[in-house]
Amino acid sequence: MSAKEVPGKKQNTPDTISKDDNSADDPLRGVATKADHAADIKATPQASPKETVLAMPAPSEVADEHKPPHLQAPPYVHHFDTWTLVRSLQTGGFTIDQSTTIMKAVRTILADNMDLARRGLVSKSNVENETYLFKAACSELKTEVQNNRKGEADKERTQRAQLQHEVDILNQRTTQETANLKDELKGMFDDRKMAVRMEQRNMERKIQELNYKITVVLNSDARTEVEGVRWVLTRRAASALAVGVIMVLATLNYSRYMTATQAKERKKFEEEMKQSSNSGFMPPENGSGGSAVVNPGEAPSSNALLASEGVSVS
């Protein structure tokens, strides 16, 4: 930014610091400026550091040659109220010389800092040029970004259409392969069902044959065992029947023998009874010495009957 200078008039640019508001109303401000100028004139080569500081030239005398003309501060421009600073230092206990020295030191430091700040400033034309270049670059970048975005969008749209076409082709191929695979699987399942049915039929036939063989074997074994048992039973029945017949025959023979024996004994007994009835006494039986007298009108006793049967009576 530039600031035009008017001859015979002081102007404050944005690069300078304005005075305090109360400095305009202070009538003693010019006295401090004259005292500073007088101290600068009285400086000598053999002066002390204090006099050297007091003899420092004004800013207009040490202007930087490399500094642009519009950034040079006008002569005798103070960036702060020097008179108020000197009076404040005197009030704080400093002498007039000390206060003046401190004020000039502060002014020198502030002038150096202001020079450093001025060297870092940028002119309005440069700012406008940079702004224009930045806007042009932004516009160009925007146009390029839009073109790139449009190109990328078109490319992505083309790629999407191509991918969609490939996806449709893959879907059709997948559908066809799925249908073929389904038909193949159905045929395989049908073949497997037929094979399983044939295996089941063969298994059933084998099971029937095995059942028939088992039945035949069991029947033959059972028949053999039944025949054996029947033969054993028949033999045992025949043996039992023969034994029974023999026992019956023996019993019949024994009964016939006993009947004949009893008849003989009865007949003999009757004869003896007749003889005893005729003679009046009974002869001894079986060699016994006793005799039994039986009355003719009495029936034979039970002992006599038992004796007639061949049973001994004790």
Residues in the chain: 314
Q: What is the pLDDT of residue 51?
A: 62
Q: What is the pLDDT of residue 231?
A: 87
Nearest to 23 by CA among 15, 13, 12: 12
In a domain, 128, yes or no: no
Q: What is the pLDDT of residue 75?
A: 58
Tokens standing for 16? 């300078």
Q: What is the pLDDT of residue 21?
A: 37
Distance separating alpha carbons of residues 282 and 268, to the nearest angstrom? 13
Domain total in the chain: 1
In a domain, 38, yes or no: yes
The tokens 């005398």 sit on which residue? 61
Angle formed at CA 16 by CA 12 and CA 22, multiple of 5 degrees? 70
Q: How confident is the model at residue 50 (pLDDT cuts 50, 70, 90)?
A: low
DSSP class of residue 292? B
pLDDT at 260 over 60: yes
In a domain, 76, yes or no: yes
In a domain, 89, yes or no: yes
Residue 294 contacts residue 300 (beta carbons within 8 Å):
yes
Q: What is the pLDDT of residue 310?
A: 54
- Per DSSP, the chain holds a count of helices (H) and strands (E) of 6, 0
pLDDT at 172 over 90: yes
Distance separating alpha carbons of residues 230 and 107, to the nearest angstrom? 155
Mean pLDDT confidence for 240-265: 88
Burial of 29 (0-12, 13-18, 19+ CB in 10 A): middle
Give per-residue pLDDT as tens, 192-223.
999 999 999 999 999 999 988 888 888 888 88
Percent of the chain whose predicted confidence (pLDDT) is above 70: 64
Q: What separation in angstroms does the CA of 140 have from each of 126, 132, 146, 155, 177? A: 20, 12, 10, 22, 54
Give per-residue pLDDT as tens, 263-285.
888 888 888 888 887 775 444 44
Mean pLDDT confidence for 42-58: 53
Q: What is the pLDDT of residue 275?
A: 84
In a domain, 300, yes or no: no
Nearest to 81 by CA among 9, 30, 35, 14: 30
* Burial per residue of 159-177, b for 16 or more beta-carbon CB atoms within 10 angstroms, e otherwise: eeeeeeeeeeeeeeeeeee
Per-position DSSP letters for 111-167, written without gaps between them = HHHHHHHHHT---HHHHHHHHHHHHHHHHHHHHHHHHHHHHHHHHHHHHHHHHHHHH
In a domain, 281, yes or no: no
pLDDT at 24 over 60: no
Distance separating alpha carbons of residues 114 and 118, to the nearest angstrom? 6
In a domain, 53, yes or no: yes
pTM (global) more than 0.85:
no
Give per-residue pLDDT as tens, 127-164.
888 899 999 999 999 999 999 999 999 999 999 999 99
In a domain, 59, yes or no: yes
Q: Radius of gyration (Cα) for the chain, nearest Å?
A: 85
Angle formed at CA 273 by CA 269 and CA 279, multiple of 5 degrees? 140
Of the spans 43-57, 101-115, 272-286, which averages the highest pLDDT? 101-115
Q: Coil, helix or strand for 282? A: strand
Domain holding 39, by residue range, is 29-121
